């Protein structure tokens, strides 16, 4: 017996449709559209990864929702002509593509953008020139700025993620050269070692050489040559620098263990629109867990509903001119309880920001103490990265992982609360305020929030870093004076975590988290130019007195 009464949808598909850009460069796209009927709106996806699909979904759901779908290879990728430089041409190429689409007879002259990660970034950048007919965006796990998040965090190079992505782009450049009939041997020879022996590439000093990576991805050397957020980074047309120009409705999707969480939250704060935050890692939106944590069937099950809601949002924009105001403004996944919850704003208006103090002797609690804590950091033996918001080539490194593998190290200060008498919900922005001094010319300060279970399992919740010379911002370095205490604000971004009764809250402080971040040599040089001989022991002091009360500011939600 038939259960569905569905008429077949005849579809016309054109592969490698040429689309000219203003400078004469030809970009190519796959076009999927209804074969008959009235003109329809178009879902535009601009992809720098070379595949026809993959990250370029959702073609079939969009066709069923009444859209044509244009999946375009970014300049210099896939079958598109030109040279690829990350982010540089996306505002103009995106706008030119919208103008081409709206001129087609099958188009009703309305276009919306969709994507995850870089693909979502192209959708936001397309809006900067305000091409006529571009009316809405779904942007998931995307940065607000191209200096921050993927490349630098707190002034430190996000080594593992940035180098891995650069190596991948080198391989894609080799693939593009082969499609063009060129000799790709040198490109592939430069990219493969960094891609398939990432440990060696990350450990190489000076980092600029990185097993020859600049030969595959010339922008790698540019990234290292610009450790401050200078004109090199602002020339690209970032969302952050162009919020006033992005005047279309945007639906934001973020993840607690995504390296672009900070950027997505910033985009939402500036642009408005619905915000969904789930418990996923970067690209892992359909998983029922992250790292070593299991979040239950509700985590991936919600994705099917969210994908339908995203297409519904775009359908509302092209039909009614604006999204349905009845949609919940914010939807978050509360870890620990593993439930979805609707909210009215982000951060939550009922948040009580509460300092928990890092106390001498290693305790953590609501009262201050006196004294100092000390440790020695050796960049020759940095604290290994265990979990976090990562984008490494290695599978399953991101997310929460048991920190007990770091037990016994003397270069980590641990501050632990007594077991909680009752559940404590922490939902919102997270900051560690650290008063500290070093005998080095420069150093890093890292902080990690950890949920310690009664059986000893210690899962990371959030972490961050600040490079001492960038304690006052990343526009320009401000050298420190060795031995002088400074206030450091370490941004752990945000979370929603219920620390259950019987669990303990822990904050770990160190001066390295490698290879998530590059090693700070300690003598004032950067890892881009430093050699092994430059690596300097760093003697660190953290203060706990009333005037310099180091603490974590927890966004507590009353219950």
Q: Is residue 4 part of a domain?
A: no
**Cα–Cα distance between 450 and 441 in angstroms, integer?**
30
Q: Does one domain contain both 280 and 137?
A: yes
Q: Is 282 a catalytic residue?
A: yes
In this structure, are 117 and 213 located in the same domain? Answer: no
CA distance 493 to 496: 11
DSSP states of 462-529 as a string? EEEEEEGGGTT-SSS--PPPTT--EEEEEEEEEEEEEE-TT-EEEEEEES--BTTS----SSS--TTT
Are 280 and 260 contacting, i.e. CB atoms less than 8 angstroms apart? no
The whole-angstrom separation of Cα 303 and Cα 255 is 12
Residue 273: domain span? 11-145+241-343
Query: Of 32, 252, 282, 401, which is the active-site residue?
Result: 282
Q: Which of 258, 402, 442, 444 is catalytic?
A: 258
Q: Does 405 fall in a domain?
A: yes
Residue 148 per-residue DSSP state = B
pLDDT of residue 296: 84
Those residues of the chain that have pLDDT short of 50 are none
In eight-state DSSP terms, residue 402 is B
Number of domains in the chain: 3
Tell me if residue 23 is catalytic: no
In a domain, 465, yes or no: yes
CATH number at residue 276: 3.40.50.1820
Whose CA is closest to 436, among 350, 375, 497?
A: 375
**Has residue 333 been placed in a domain?**
yes
305 and 382 together in one domain: no
- Beta bridge partner(s), residue 107: 40
Q: What does the DSSP 8-state code read for residue 169?
A: H
The pLDDT score that the predictor gives to residue 192 is 82
Residue 416 lies in a domain: yes
CA-based nearest residue to 77, from 180, 163, 150, 193: 180
**What is the per-residue DSSP string for 47-74?**
ESSS-SSGGG--HHHHHHTT-EEEEEEP
Distance (Å, rounded) from C-alpha 550 to C-alpha 540?
Answer: 14
Q: What is the pLDDT of residue 302?
A: 67
Is there a single domain that holds both residue 263 and residue 206?
no
d(CA 446, CA 433): 11
Which residues are bridge partners to 30 per DSSP?
71
Q: What is the pLDDT of residue 190?
A: 77
Residue 231 lies in a domain: no
Cβ count near 152 (within 10 Å) = 27
- Torsional class of 228: left (φ above 0), alpha (ψ -120 to 50), beta (otherwise): beta
CATH code, domain carrying 430: 2.60.120.260
Verify that 165 and 119 share a domain, yes or no: no
Catalytic position from the list 92, 117, 299, 504: 117
Cα-based distances in Å from 5 to 2, 11, 60, 63, 294: 7, 19, 18, 17, 39
Residues 212 and 299 both lie in one domain? no
The DSSP output letter for 347 is S
As a residue count, the chain comes to 559
Does residue 3 belong to any structural domain of this protein? no
Backbone angles phi, psi at 95, to 5 degrees: -65, -40
How many other C-beta atoms are found inside a 10 Å radius of the C-beta of residue 501?
Answer: 12
What pLDDT does 306 receive? 80
Q: Are residues 101 and 160 in the same domain?
A: no
DSSP label at residue 107? E
Strands, E, within 128-171: which ranges?
134-140, 152-153, 156-157
Q: Which pLDDT value is given to residue 338?
A: 94
Helices 185-196 and 159-179 pack at an angle, to 10 degrees, of 150
Strands 107-116 and 40-47: parallel
pLDDT in tens, 149-202: 889 999 999 999 999 899 888 888 888 888 788 887 877 887 888 888 888 889
H or E segment to which residue 201 belongs: helix 198-203
Domain boundary among 312, 343, 374: 343
* Annotated catalytic residue 217: no
- Shared domain check, 160 and 30: no
The verdict on residue 533 lying in a domain is yes
* Residues 192 and 171 occupy one common structural domain: yes
């Amino acid at each position: 017996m038939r259960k569905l009464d569905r008429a077949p949808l005849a579809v016309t598909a054109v592969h490698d449709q040429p689309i000219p850009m203003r400078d004469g460069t030809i970009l190519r796209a796959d076009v999927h559209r209804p074969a008959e009927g009235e003109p329809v709106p178009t879902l535009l996806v601009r992809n720098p990864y070379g595949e026809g699909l993959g990250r370029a979904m959702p073609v079939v759901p969009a066709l069923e929702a009444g859209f044509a779908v244009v999946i375009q290879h970014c300049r210099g990728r896939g079958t598109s002509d030109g040279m690829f430089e990350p982010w540089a041409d996306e505002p103009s190429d995106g706008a030119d593509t919208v103008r081409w689409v709206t001129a087609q007879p099958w188009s009703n002259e309305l276009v919306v953008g969709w994507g995850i990660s870089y693909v979502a970034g192209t959708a936001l950048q397309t809006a900067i020139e305000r091409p006529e007919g571009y009316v809405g965006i779904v942007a998931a796990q995307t940065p607000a700025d191209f200096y921050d998040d993927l490349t630098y965090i707190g002034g430190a190079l996000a080594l593992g993620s940035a180098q891995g992505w650069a190596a991948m782009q080198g391989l894609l450049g080799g693939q593009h050269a082969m499609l063009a009939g060129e000799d790709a041997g040198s490109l592939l020879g430069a990219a493969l070692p960094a891609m398939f022996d990432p440990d060696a590439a990350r450990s190489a000093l000076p980092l600029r050489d990185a097993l020859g990576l600049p030969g595959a991805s010339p922008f790698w050397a540019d990234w290292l040559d610009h450790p401050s957020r200078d004109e090199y980074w602002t020339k690209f047309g970032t969302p952050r620098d162009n919020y006033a120009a992005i005047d279309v409705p945007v639906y934001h999707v973020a993840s607690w263990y995504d390296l672009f969480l900070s950027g997505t939250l910033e985009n939402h704060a500036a642009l408005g629109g619905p915000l969904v935050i789930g418990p996923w890692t970067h690209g892992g939106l359909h998983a029922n867990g992250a790292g070593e944590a299991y979040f239950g069937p509700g985590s991936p099950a919600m994705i099917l509903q969210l994908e339908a809601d995203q297409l519904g949002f775009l359908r509302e924009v092209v039909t009614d001119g604006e999204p349905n105001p009845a949609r919940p403004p914010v939807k978050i996944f509360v870890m620990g309880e593993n439930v979805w919850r609707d909210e009215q704003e982000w951060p939550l208006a009922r948040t009580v920001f509460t300092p928990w103090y890092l106390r001498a002797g290693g305790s953590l609690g609501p009262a201050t103490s006196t004294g100092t804590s000390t440790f020695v950091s050796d960049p020759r033996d940095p604290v290994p990265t265990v979990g976090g918001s990562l984008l490494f080539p290695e599978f399953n490194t991101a997310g929460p992982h048991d920190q007990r593998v770091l037990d016994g190290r003397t270069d980590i200060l641990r501050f632990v609360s007594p077991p909680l008498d009752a559940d404590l919900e922490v939902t919102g922005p997270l900051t560690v305020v650290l008063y500290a001094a070093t005998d080095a010319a420069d150093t890093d300060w890292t902080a990690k929030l950890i949920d310690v279970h009664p059986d000893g399992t210690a899962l990371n919740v959030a972490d961050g870093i600040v490079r001492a010379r960038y304690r006052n911002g990343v526009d320009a370095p401000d050298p420190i004076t060795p031995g002088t205490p400074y206030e450091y604000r370490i941004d752990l971004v945000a979370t929603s975590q219920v620390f259950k009764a019987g669990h303990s809250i822990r904050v770990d402080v160190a001066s390295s988290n490698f290879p998530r971040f590059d090693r700070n040599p300690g003598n004032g040089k950067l890892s881009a130019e430093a050699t092994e001989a430059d690596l300097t022991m760093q003697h660190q002091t953290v203060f706990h007195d009333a005037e310099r009360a180091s603490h974590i500011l927890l966004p507590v939600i009353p219950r």
